[in-house]
Structure 1
Amino acid sequence: MSDDADSEGAGRRSPSKDGEAVADVPVLRRVATETDGLLTIETSDATAWCPYEGTADYYEVTLEYCPDEYVVELMSYRDYMQTFRDREIGHEEFAAEVYDDLLTLLDPEWLRLTVEAPPRYGLELTLRHQTGPKPASLQDAATVTQ
């Protein structure tokens, strides 16, 4: 992916409500640090239309990632989630598309996306996509398994 970032690091862009492509929504160049950091962004402001029932779906979305060179700009992330408001898209397709877009845009060291779909017919659905095991430097004693 090309990087047209200016000296402040802005310039890469991700999707917005006007439908720009993944390559067109702002991300920020990360300030290098000597330690790994885990960023977590949670939103309940993700909606789409169920292609089967024609009703609105409201998603709880949690993005966790260990950035490499870029971090997502929060307002752009919110705008990106709003691009789904007028789309008919199933739960699995929604989660896969968001995961693929963020992975392409951020190119992080590690990323996990969790999407909780609204209960239907007494069933709850949680979808998770992640790049692999969480880096050891980000695991705490409670999450380490033998």
Structure 2
Amino acid sequence: MSILKPGKYYIINKHSGTKVGLSPVDPGFSRYAILSAPKDIHGPQLRAVTWNIEHVGGHLYKLVVEGRVAASENGQVFGREGSDQHWTIIMRERMDGYTIEETHQLGVGWILDDGEKQVMSRRLIVHPSFPPVFPPTEIWEFEQIKN
């Protein structure tokens, strides 16, 4: 299984082809919703889409965007100040991408459903096969940003 190298990345949903990042609006409590970027360049832009991926060990990572750590809260993903949540990121070769799962609740991870803007953290759908197959709404690409 492939380990991501620490560095700066865009995180892109495999199904929609859109980057995800911080909402331009803080809903309160120093947290920003993690949203998909609009495909329409004339639409509202996200506050930040450049992620710093910190490798913690094994398949564990800390995902940071503009100094805020990706954290799950009530089934939604937010960028929060002061959070130290880690995520399990696993390469899914058959899907040509990764799943991003909660470390304390495996099988629950990032999903960007059709028509949704907010990234959710919910039970992943796994098709019964070996290796497992996931819907593309649950698969993420990491595009490294070269300096």
Instruction: Please tell me the TM-score bracket, short chain as reference.
Output: under 0.3
Larger Rg: 1
Q: Which has the higher contact order (CA 8 A, sep 6+)?
A: 2
More strand by share: 2
More helix by share: 1
TM-score (norm 1): 0.26
